């Protein structure tokens, strides 16, 4: 039989701190038995609306709205824990729920401890979005933080002990490892990320390293393949079934600018047809949640017709997780004679550079690639300009050699 369950937020006006605030308490009632938990959220007693069980907005609008949002999140945690215990154990009590909530609601106060908790959240998230890049990068950043603390003869450090000098020292440590500025900034972003989580959870009042500057960013280097390399990939089918699927998906991305996660998440309903009978894709990019509108090139149309275009309960391409096709991509690159390791994302970059070379307006390319800002698309224009300069230098050098040989 399902138990009776209720949640009530309230404050004890007789217990006010020196700063004039009091904690918001949560009373949980299950089958007539009650228990009380501190939410860890504080407010001015005059701002409390006892009837609604929340803070009045009034003059402290932003602060009180934020506190109310935290109360909503806290209520959700209690309700989810209640449902989980009831489902897994079949019985529940107010005290059992309190013990579970207290454990769930415990907040790491140490830097590396918080880092591991955040990495676990990213691991779960990576499965939801089918992209492990952020999770994998966090492993390196967390490892660098741990190594830096060891140089200070510390196994961990409390957030409250972190100073601006700590941040400056960490940046010097990273520079000493001869990392590129982009990698240094990635690692430093991870430290800032953990500190801002601590600020949000009210372990810290502010970020003590907020004034420590990032390294000057180097111009981004977008790796892409040439028109000839793409032609070779298109002309050479792979013998293995998974390799051939990967090759076709790579070519499809080169003609649609869709990232692997977006191709994998493509369903028949994402394909539309214009009044003229031209097929197009309209979808939202997983990374930026920006809409991309892509008229399909005939080659992309041919590839898509080989797969599922009718059953909307299944994706168009039966692709595995990206990590499983790493070897296939390298094999394809090797056979095509691509210099260096071929990555799937080079197909998307190649779309941008090839279209710019063909004279397609940058605004149209930005829309097709689903960029949130046209400045991102302009990076491809820089790559194209550099390529033209290099080609012209080679042409001039070739003509000089021809002239010298005729003398």
**pLDDT band (50, 70, 90) for residue 384:** very low
Residue 301 predicted with pLDDT over 60: yes
More confident residue, 131 or 159: 159
Higher pLDDT, 169 or 287: 169
Q: What is the pTM of this model?
A: 0.46
pLDDT in tens, 198-217: 888 788 989 999 999 998 86
pLDDT, tens digit, 9 for 90 and up, residues 249-266: 988 988 887 888 888 999
Task: Write the CA distances from 397 to 288, 389, 403, integer angstroms.
Answer: 43, 12, 10
The reported pLDDT for the residue numbered 372 is: 59
**Which pLDDT band holds residue 383 (cuts at 50, 70, 90)?**
very low
pLDDT of residue 224: 65
Bridge partners, 291 (sequence order):
284
Provide the 10 A C-beta neighbour count for residue 338: 21
Contact 395, 284 (CB under 8 A): no
CA distances to 48, 141, 391 from 53, rounded to whole Å, are: 7, 41, 69
CATH of segment(s) 227-391: 1.10.443.10
* Residue scoring higher pLDDT (126 or 154): 154
Q: Check: CB of residue 151 under 8 Å from CB of residue 173.
A: yes
Residue 180: count of CB within 10 angstroms of its CB: 10
Average pLDDT for 24-28: 94
Range from 63-67, 276-280, 336-340 carrying the lowest mean pLDDT: 336-340
Query: Does the pLDDT of residue 378 top 70, yes or no?
Result: no
Residue 305 is predicted with a pLDDT of 92
Q: Residues 229-247: what's their mean pLDDT? A: 88
Q: What is the pLDDT of residues 108-134, one digit of tens each?
A: 789 999 999 888 888 877 776 667 778
Length of the chain counted residue by residue = 407
Q: What integer pLDDT is reported at residue 388 of this predicted model?
A: 42
The vertex-405 CA angle with 403 and 407, nearest 5°, equals 75
pLDDT of residue 130: 67
Q: Are 95 and 30 in contact (CB under 8 A)?
A: no
Q: Is residue 6 helix, strand or coil?
A: strand
| Structural element, H or E, at residue 328 | helix 326-336
Q: Cα separation of 217 and 72, whole Å?
A: 40
Half-sphere exposure (Cβ direction) of 38: Cα atoms closer than 13 Å? 9
Dihedral (CA of 122, 126, 129, 132) sign: positive
What pLDDT is recorded for position 391?
47
| CA-CA-CA-CA torsion sign (278, 282, 285, 290) | positive
């Amino acid at each position: 039989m399902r138990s009776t369950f209720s949640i009530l937020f309230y404050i004890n006006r007789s217990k006010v701190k020196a700063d004039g605030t009091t904690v918001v308490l949560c009373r949980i009632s299950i089958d007539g038995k009650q228990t009380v938990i501190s939410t860890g959220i504080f407010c001015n007693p005059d701002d409390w609306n006892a009837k609604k069980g929340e803070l009045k907005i009034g003059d402290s609008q932003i602060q009180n709205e934020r506190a109310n949002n935290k109360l909503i999140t806290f209520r959700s945690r209690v309700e989810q824990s209640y449902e989980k215990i009831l489902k897994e154990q079949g019985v529940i009590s107010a005290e059992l729920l309190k013990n579970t909530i207290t454990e769930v609601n415990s907040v790491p106060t140490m830097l590396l401890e918080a880092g591991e908790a955040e990495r676990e959240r990213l691991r779960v998230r990576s499965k939801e979005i089918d992209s492990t890049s952020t999770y994998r990068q966090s492993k390196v950043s967390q490892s660098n933080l741990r190594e830096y603390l060891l140089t200070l003869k510390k196994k961990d450090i409390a957030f409250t002990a972190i100073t601006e000098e700590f941040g400056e020292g960490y940046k010097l440590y990273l520079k000493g490892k001869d990392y590129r500025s982009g990698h240094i900034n990635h690692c430093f972003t991870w430290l800032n990320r953990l500190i801002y989580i601590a600020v949000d959870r009210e372990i810290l009042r502010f970020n003590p390293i907020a004034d420590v500057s990032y390294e000057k960013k180097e111009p981004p280097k977008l790796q892409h393949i040439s028109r000839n390399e793409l032609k070779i990939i298109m002309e050479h089918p792979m013998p293995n079934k998974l390799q051939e699927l990967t090759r076709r998906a790579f070519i499809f991305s080169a003609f649609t600018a869709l990232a692997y996660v977006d191709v994998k998440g493509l369903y028949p309903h994402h394909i539309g047809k214009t009044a003229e009978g031209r097929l197009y894709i309209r979808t939202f990019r997983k990374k930026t949640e920006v809409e991309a509108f892509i008229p399909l090139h005939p080659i992309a149309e041919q590839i898509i017709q080989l797969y599922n275009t009718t059953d909307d309960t299944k994706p168009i391409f039966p692709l595995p997780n990206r990590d499983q096709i790493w070897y296939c991509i390298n094999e394809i690159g090797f056979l095509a004679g691509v210099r260096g390791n071929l990555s799937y994302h080079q197909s998307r970059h190649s779309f941008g550079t090839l279209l710019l070379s063909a004279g397609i307006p940058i605004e149209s390319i930005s829309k097709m690639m689903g960029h949130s800002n046209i400045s991102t698309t302009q990076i491809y224009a820089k790559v194209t300009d550099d390529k033209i300069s290099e080609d012209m230098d080679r042409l001039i050098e070739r003509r000089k050699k021809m002239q010298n040989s005729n003398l």
